[in-house]
Amino acid sequence: MRGIEAALYVLTEVSKGRFASESLRKVSDRMTEGDRILASSLVYAALRRQTLWKKVCENFLRFPFDSLSWCTRHALVIGAAGIIELRHFAPMVLVSALVDEIKKRGLEKEARIVNAVLHRVEERGKFIVDEMKKSSSFQDKALLGGIPLFVAYQWKDTWGQAETLKLINLFRIRPYASLRVLPKDHIPSLVKGLKQDHIYGWPSPLLECSVRTASFAFPPNLPGFNEGKVTVQSESSMLAGEMVTRLWKDGLILDMCAGRGIKTGQIATLLPHAKIEAWELSKGRCAAARRELKRLSISQRVIIRQGDSLSMSPQSTPNLVFLDAPCSGSGTWSRHPESRWALTKEKMEELVQLQKGLLRKAVDLVAPGGLILYSTCSLLRQENEQVIAEVLADNHNLIEMSLPLSGRHVRKGRPWGTYIWPLLPWLDGFYMMAILKRNQEV
Ligand SMILES: C[S@@+](CC[C@H](N)C(=O)[O-])C[C@H]1O[C@@H](n2cnc3c(N)ncnc32)[C@H](O)[C@@H]1O
């Protein structure tokens, strides 16, 4: 498969709700190394600033962009991103390959449109983008940063314009992979093994069990991966798991949203004496979580259950509830740029209702005197402080417990909880709040 064909395929998969990285991985063994690099560069350049490329193309269209077929829209976005952002290959080679792809699908008229528009983008596109860079308009800055406008305005309301512009720029940092290494005495041999694979890795100054790499992709055959000693996980995610282990004293830990079991596995590895029950709605993720726990050799110690946490009953009353809530993922938008464009105001409202429902359920379930850790990988106040505010308003026996987090990457929520700011390539944006359910009603 050629790189340009693969890029079109991946954008089609993304529009069906799939992750770009997974879709790229699916076709990677059908490509040469050069085509793999080309496909991945085009896909990420296109996805990071999709609305910007659309806007540039609209300058040269006489009818609405959205009236074109999906495939043509993808070709235009890939073409504009490639021509303006990627300087290492000839634009006309890209344009003719994209035109051929559209022709192959029998869309002769749209192929002519792609050809005409992308030639104009080649002549004028860079100038249009340079003019936007000079503009002081907030809207242009959001477009250039690849942040959906309604989110940029919500951040502006929360953090103010100056902070929001800094945050938008942080989303241009290229994310790198960090590795959770447990037991941590495996770190030296991992670093050595990575070096043999030409990957630079070094122990993180932030977390004892983390190794940072300067690699974007998941390095296959990591030394220690099959034995469960190494797991790809962002440092913010590791911090959330670590907070659970710091809050635990005794009794059952209930993980309400286990996903693929990444944090569940971390918690169970760090707390060999804790009893853990983990729930997950999705059948596929539940199966992935079971595989993950097997890889870590801890399947015996964790009960994984598939079902809706809004209506479940755990086997006993938990002393600690971990609610790693489903969210917009806005803190991980550097890593998963496709999620930026999947979020709509309506989707956001649905998520907020779900988050409130799950948090209310956590409050009902946790033992008096017990704790809840609420976390999201979102930097949107609606999914964080506002969810907490509503649940706290209905339950006067709940209070915030402070978390042992400090450093330049830590920010206080307003007024509750703590944000991890995505200041470094290994840190996603995260929010966490520990809640104590007091023993007596007040
Ligand atoms: C943020 S992810 C969890 C990530 C996970 N803790 C990890 O570290 O891999 C949220 C998860 O909640 C699940 N979910 C959504 N609604 C749910 C519900 N009502 N009950 C249980 N799980 C739910 C989603 O399928 C998703 O896997």
Quickly state the pLDDT bin for 260 (edges 50, 70, 90): very high
Same domain, 295 and 197: no
Same domain, 288 and 396: yes
Where does a domain end: 232, 248, 278? 232
The stretch 206-232 carries a mean pLDDT of 88
CATH number at residue 270: 3.40.50.150
Same domain, 338 and 374: yes
Q: What phi, psi does 324 have (nearest 5°)?
A: -90, 85
Q: Would you say residue 376 lies in a domain?
A: yes
Beta strands 302-306; 230-232: pairing state: unpaired
316 CB neighbour count, 10 Å cutoff: 12
pLDDT at 116 exceeding the cut of 80? yes
The answer to whether 409 and 420 have CB atoms below 8 angstroms apart is yes
Give the distance (Å) from ligand 1 centre to CA of residue 442.
Answer: 32
Q: Is 412 helix (H, G, I), strand (E, B) or coil?
A: strand
Where does a domain end: 134, 158, 186? 134
Which residue among 243, 257, 293, 295 has the greatest number of ligand 1 atoms within 8 angstroms of its CB, and so is best to mutate?
A: 257
Q: Would you say residue 318 lies in a domain?
A: yes
Which residue among 281, 283, 311, 327 has the greatest number of ligand 1 atoms within 8 angstroms of its CB, and so is best to mutate?
A: 281
Give the distance (Å) from ligand 1 centre to CA of residue 241.
Answer: 14
Closest among 167, 191, 166, 193 to 178, alpha carbons compared: 191
Active site residues: 377
Same domain, 40 and 109: yes
Give the distance (Å) from ligand 1 centre to CA of residue 286.
Answer: 10
Q: Which residue type does 289 have?
A: A
The residue range of the domain holding 261 is 235-437
Where does a domain end: 109, 134, 159? 134
Q: Would you say residue 102 lies in a domain?
A: yes
Range from 6-15, 155-164, 175-184, 433-442 carrying the lowest mean pLDDT:
433-442
Q: Would you say residue 442 lies in a domain?
A: no
How much is the pLDDT for 441?
A: 56
Give the distance (Å) from ligand 1 centre to CA of residue 76.
Answer: 35
Looking from the CA of residue 261, the nearest atom of ligand 1 is 9
Which residue among 231, 280, 375 has the greatest number of ligand 1 atoms within 8 angstroms of its CB, and so is best to mutate?
A: 280
Quickly state the pLDDT bin for 112 (edges 50, 70, 90): very high
Peptide bond before residue 415 is cis, with ω within 30 degrees of 0: yes
How is 342-358 classified by DSSP, letter by letter?
H--HHHHHHHHHHHHHH
Q: Which residue type does 18 have?
A: R
Q: Would you say residue 192 lies in a domain?
A: yes
Q: Would you say residue 404 lies in a domain?
A: yes
Q: Which residue's C-alpha comes closest to atom 13 of ligand 1? A: 257
Task: Please give the Cα distance from 264 to 343 (Å, whole number).
Answer: 26
Give the distance (Å) from ligand 1 centre to CA of residue 365.
Answer: 17
CATH number at residue 212: 3.30.70.1170
The answer to whether 402 and 151 have CB atoms below 8 angstroms apart is no
Half-sphere exposure of 278 (CA within 13 A, CB side): 31
Q: Would you say residue 280 lies in a domain?
A: yes
Task: Please give the Cα distance from 124 to 116 (Å, whole number).
Answer: 12
The answer to whether 186 and 222 have CB atoms below 8 angstroms apart is no
Beta strands 230-232; 178-181: pairing state: antiparallel
Same domain, 241 and 321: yes
pLDDT at 67 exceeding the cut of 90? yes
How is 202-258 classified by DSSP, letter by letter?
EE-SS-TTEEEES-SS--TT-TTTTTTSEEE--HHHHHHHHHHHHH--SSEEEES--
Same domain, 157 and 301: no
Mean pLDDT (the chain, rounded): 94
Biggest CA-to-CA distance, the chain: 72
Looking from the CA of residue 309, the nearest atom of ligand 1 is 20
Same domain, 79 and 125: yes
Name every protein residue with a CB atom under 6 angstroms from any ligand 1 atom.
257-263, 279-282, 285, 308-310, 324, 326, 354
Same domain, 349 and 246: yes
Same domain, 302 and 390: yes
Same domain, 99 and 227: no
Binding residues for S-adenosyl-L-methionine: 280, 308, 324
Half-sphere exposure of 351 (CA within 13 A, CB side): 23
Same domain, 105 and 195: no
Looking from the CA of residue 308, the nearest atom of ligand 1 is 20
Same domain, 108 and 164: no
377 CB neighbour count, 10 Å cutoff: 27
Give the distance (Å) from ligand 1 centre to CA of residue 101.
Answer: 38
Q: What is the pLDDT of residues 174-210, one digit of tens each?
A: 899 999 999 999 999 999 999 988 889 999 999 999 9
Task: Please give the Cα distance from 200 to 178 (Å, whole number).
Answer: 11
Task: Please give the Cα distance from 392 to 296 (Å, whole number).
Answer: 37
Structure tokens given for 317 = 């009353």
Q: Which residue's C-alpha comes closest to atom 6 of ligand 1? A: 258
User: Exposed (0-12), middle (13-18) or buried (19+): which is 50, by Cβ within 10 Å?
Assistant: buried
Structure tokens given for 367 = 């033992």
Please give the residue that has the higher pLDDT: either 363 or 89.
Answer: 363
How much is the pLDDT for 220?
A: 66
Q: Which residue's C-alpha comes closest to atom 3 of ligand 1? A: 259
ipTM of the prediction greater than 0.90, yes or no: yes
| Number of domains present in the structure of the chain | 4
Q: What is the pLDDT of residues 236-255, one digit of tens each?
A: 999 999 999 999 999 999 99
Please give the residue that has the higher pLDDT: either 371 or 172.
Answer: 371
